[in-house]
Structure formats: structure tokens, C-alpha cells
Amino acid sequence: MVPTAQTGTACARRIRRAASTIAASRGSQRSGPALLEASSNTQAAAPQAALRVKRLEERLAAQHTAVICAFNQLLDLKDLGTGLHSTRLAEWAVRVAGHLAQQDEALEEEWRRDLEVAALLHDIGKIGVPDHILNKDGPLTPEERAIIQKHSEYGWTILRNFPGMERTSLFVLHHHENYDGTGYPARLAEEEIPLGARIVAVVDSFDAMVSNRPYRAGLPVQEAMRRVEAAAGTQFDPRVAQCFLAIVQSELAEVQAATAPLDMR
């Protein structure tokens, strides 16, 4: 699932410029016969300006998508095992957002696209964590744990530089905050945590529970659901957790098939 791109600041500026050109052309039409010729020239130029804006928008959208894909490939090259994990996360996050959007008009399409990208790239900051810590078999020391926990800030640092990714970068920054204020990096609580980050937190944790790792087998889906429910109100936003669990419950067979080890399919 490759997210579609959104209009960036530069493009918005161009759209405003084109809009003022069209408005000027309309103003000229009202200025009297002496300006009829100039007005007609401007009118002829308006569709061309609109076409130019459309092409610029398409180009910006393609660049935006290419950046997201490049980051995703970078994660795969780093062997973070994120390919399937991230794609599944993005699908679930968008489903949860779709359900919540039925009760909250503020979750418009652009917001949901930002969430989808955040779910895909939530662990991009792990690129900045040394491999010997990321791939360590045994338990982590407190120092190593502190370094790994930096990944959400690293992710924010990377993504916030891209026009149009400001909101996505905040979802990434806060995807390890806990609803009760005990998470990281900012120890935000409840509504202080951006909703997109609260959604990523639930789907990320669930997927981590059911995924197989070299050093342990994934949990059965039912057990992972029980743990999400138990952590609703402490680690997770209860509204998001209940919404996600309802989705999983309604598609139990598909979720079990999607999360089963490859050799069992």
C-alpha cells in the first residue's frame, strides 16, 4: 500500500498565486471596454495556469510518494524486518481511523494519509541506533535501552524536515507515549498525545505481540487481544483500543491468517 501524497506548502503558494491570477482576470472583466483585450488575454492564460498548477501538484505528489518509498526501502536495507510489519500496521491504522472518523469529522482524508505514512515509517529513527544494540540477543542494559528509545526522536528529526510531513513527524515522535503518561519521549498523557500516535501505539504493539522473532514465537491472536484490552486506559487510549479490537474480532480468521508464520500458510 503506497500512500498518496498531499499538497505541500510550496504548491499551496502556487495555487494561491494562480487563484489571484484568475481573480485578477475576473476583476478586469468588470473594468470596462478599454480593458476588454487585456481581459481576454488573461482569460486565455487562466486555463494554462490551472494546468501548470495541476502538473506541479502531480509532480509534488510523486516526489512525496517517492520519498516515502525510499525511506521504506532504507528500513528494509537496514534489515529491521519492517516491510510486512509496516504495511500491516498502515492498513490497520487506516481502518481504525476510518471507524473513528465516523464520529469525528476532524479526521479528514489528509489527516488519515498522514497517519498512514506515520504507520509505515514509525520506526525510521532506528536507522540511527547502532546494529549491535538493535540486534542484541540478550537483555538490554539501561544505557542500551535509553539509546533505542531515542528512535522516536530521531524519526521526528528526519521527517519534520520534509514539507507536508509536519503532522506525520509528530505522530512518529509520540508513538511510544503511554495513555497514563508513563511513556516516552515526553511523558504526554491522554489527549495530550496526538490521536495518530495513539493509534500507531495500539496497532504497533499488537503486531509486535503476534509477530514471530528469531528468539521467540508470536503470541496467539486471542492472547494479544486480551493483552491490548488489559492495557486499555494505562498504555493505550481505551477508545482506540476498543475500536481496534472490534476490527480484529470481526475479521479474526483473516487476521490469524495474516499473522501466521510463513511456513504455516
- Residues in contact with Fe ion by CB under 5 A are 123
Residue number, 57 or 123, with CB nearest to Fe ion: 123
CB of 186 to Fe ion, least distance (A): 14
Contact 2, 62 (CB under 8 A): no
CB of 161 to Fe ion, least distance (A): 19
CB of 116 to Fe ion, least distance (A): 16
* Closest residue to Fe ion in the complex (CB): 123
- Categorise residue 233: left if φ over 0, alpha if ψ from -120 to 50, beta otherwise: left
Residue number, 116 or 123, with CB nearest to Fe ion: 123
Radius of gyration of the chain (CA): 23
Torsion, CA 63, CA 64, CA 65, CA 71, rounded to 10: 100
CB of 152 to Fe ion, least distance (A): 6
CB of 201 to Fe ion, least distance (A): 9
Residue number, 13 or 145, with CB nearest to Fe ion: 145
Residue number, 123 or 177, with CB nearest to Fe ion: 123
Residue number, 114 or 207, with CB nearest to Fe ion: 207
Residue number, 8 or 196, with CB nearest to Fe ion: 196
CB of 148 to Fe ion, least distance (A): 9
